[in-house]
């Protein structure tokens, strides 16, 4: 922000459904009397309408015909590519950080998860290499949860082996995540003060797990629409779960713990059982099923417009990004005329947070020709 404000007026948009843009919460969604009504409303909260909102804001803030510059991080980058497709006349240039979306027809979610599970497995291997003692800690937690049939968390939800695996979403893919996950696992068990007392997971650990999963409470929109961001004219049909089943036992936590193998955490995936296991998502189980089966999602990208793009675009692509596949990003970049890519393994998906000034400088240099084409 400080770097950007040196030369630009910065406008932060709360995309529809978030922040102050009519936020969607468990209480606001409860105003609808049926899951069908909720689904009808929620279908309007994807990138195409976010771009239309942005264009409306631009037309009110800028003089007629004046364009603005946009920066999109992660899903913001997906929205920026939709912007290039639907309203390029409103853009002077575009910066993308960790946010080049897959551009195939239909629903590309299956393709995305086949690549992302590979990266998640690699991140698990790196985590356990960094903290090898945590292998047995995680196995012991999983065995305990399996034997107990789950353990109640402070707010009333149930911690099960598959819910425990969700910690990989925050713990494996961003700077400092390995350390945060390790420190969390250090607090897993209550110390035994009395000989022969029963072993229990600590209240602190259970509460911290809840905090890690709190986004599903305050922002159900993420869980409900995550897979739909990959869909154009086709349903996702719970792609992450289907691809997980294709992998056999690789992410079977109980089997791994029983056999003395590494228990693998998962990544940025939404599974249908989350709407059973996570108390905060239980009210949305029916609408989630409707959205997962919805086939008539409108298009998000215009390939002809992208292949004839005239708006300068610079993208930071992170080689070891766990959330946005480098392989798929590279394929998408080939479809956007004139894009300049900076591929680096210096940062993870959270690069803009770690070293924003340097990343912005590098992208500006690409746009301004200070870094020549090679």
**C-alpha angle 87/93/94, rounded to 5°?**
80
- Give the number of residues written for the chain: 374
Annotated catalytic, 349?
yes
Q: Which of 179, 178, 176, 205 is nearest to 190 (CA)?
A: 205
Rounded to whole angstroms, the Cα distance separating 314 from 235 reads: 31
**Three-class SS string for 114-179?**
HHHHHHHHHHHHHHHHHCCCHHHHHHHHHHHHHHHCCEECCCCCEECHHHHHCCHHHHCCCCCHHH
Enter the tokens of residue 242: 């289907």
DSSP code, position 282:
G
The answer to whether 46 and 225 are in contact (CB under 8 A) is yes
The answer to whether 365 and 186 are in contact (CB under 8 A) is no
- Helix, strand, or coil (residue 101): coil
Pairing of strands 151-152, 158-159: antiparallel
Rounded to whole angstroms, the Cα distance separating 226 from 75 reads: 10
Q: Which of 174, 146, 163, 145 is nearest to 281 (CA)?
A: 163
Enter the tokens of residue 117: 């599970």
Annotated catalytic, 182?
no
Find the catalytic residue in 14, 249, 296, 361. 296
Quickly count: other Cβ atoms within 10 Å of residue 92's Cβ: 12
Find the catalytic residue in 74, 170, 329, 332. 74
Rounded to whole angstroms, the Cα distance separating 179 from 29 reads: 36
Find the catalytic residue in 134, 217, 349, 350. 349
Annotated catalytic, 296?
yes
Hey, which residues are catalytic here?
A: 74, 296, 349
């Amino acid at each position: 922000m400080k770097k950007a404000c040196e030369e630009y007026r910065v406008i932060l948009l709360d995309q529809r459904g978030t922040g102050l843009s009519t936020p969607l919460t468990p209480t606001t969604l409860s105003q609808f009397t049926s899951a069908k009504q909720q689904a009808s409303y929620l279908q309007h909260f994807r990138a195409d309408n976010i771009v239309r909102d942005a264009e409306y804001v631009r037309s009110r803030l800028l003089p007629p015909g004046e364009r603005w510059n946009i920066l999109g991080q992660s899903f913001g980058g997906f929205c920026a590519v939709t912007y290039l497709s639907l309203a390029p006349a409103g853009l002077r240039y575009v910066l993308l950080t960790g946010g080049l979306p897959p551009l195939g027809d239909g629903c590309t979610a299956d393709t995305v998860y086949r690549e992302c599970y590979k990266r998640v497995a690699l991140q698990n291997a790196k985590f356990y290499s960094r903290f090898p003692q945590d292998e047995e800690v995680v196995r012991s937690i999983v065995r305990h949860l399996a034997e107990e049939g789950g353990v109640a968390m402070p707010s009333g939800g149930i911690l099960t082996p598959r819910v425990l695996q969700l910690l990989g979403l925050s713990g494996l893919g961003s700077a400092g995540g390995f350390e945060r996950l390790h420190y969390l696992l250090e607090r897993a068990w209550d110390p035994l003060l009395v000989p022969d007392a029963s072993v229990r997971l600590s209240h602190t650990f259970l509460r911290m797990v809840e905090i890690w999963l709190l986004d599903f409470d305050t922002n159900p929109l993420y869980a409900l629409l995550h897979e739909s961001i990959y869909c154009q004219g086709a349903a996702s049909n719970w792609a992450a779960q289907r691809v997980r089943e294709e992998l056999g036992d690789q992410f079977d936590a109980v089997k791994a713990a029983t056999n003395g193998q590494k228990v693998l955490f998962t990544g940025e995936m939404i599974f249908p059982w989350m709407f059973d296991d996570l108390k905060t998502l239980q009210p949305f189980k029916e609408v989630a099923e409707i959205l997962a089966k919805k086939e008539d999602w409108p298009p998000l990208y215009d390939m002809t417009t992208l292949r004839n793009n005239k708006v300068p675009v610079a993208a930071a692509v992170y080689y070891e990004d766990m959330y946005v596949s480098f392989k798929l990003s590279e394929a998408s970049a080939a479809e956007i005329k004139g894009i300049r890519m900076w591929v680096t393994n210096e940062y993870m998906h959270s690069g803009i947070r770690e070293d924003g000034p340097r990343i912005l400088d590098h992208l500006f240099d690409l746009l301004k020709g200070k870094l020549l084409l090679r």
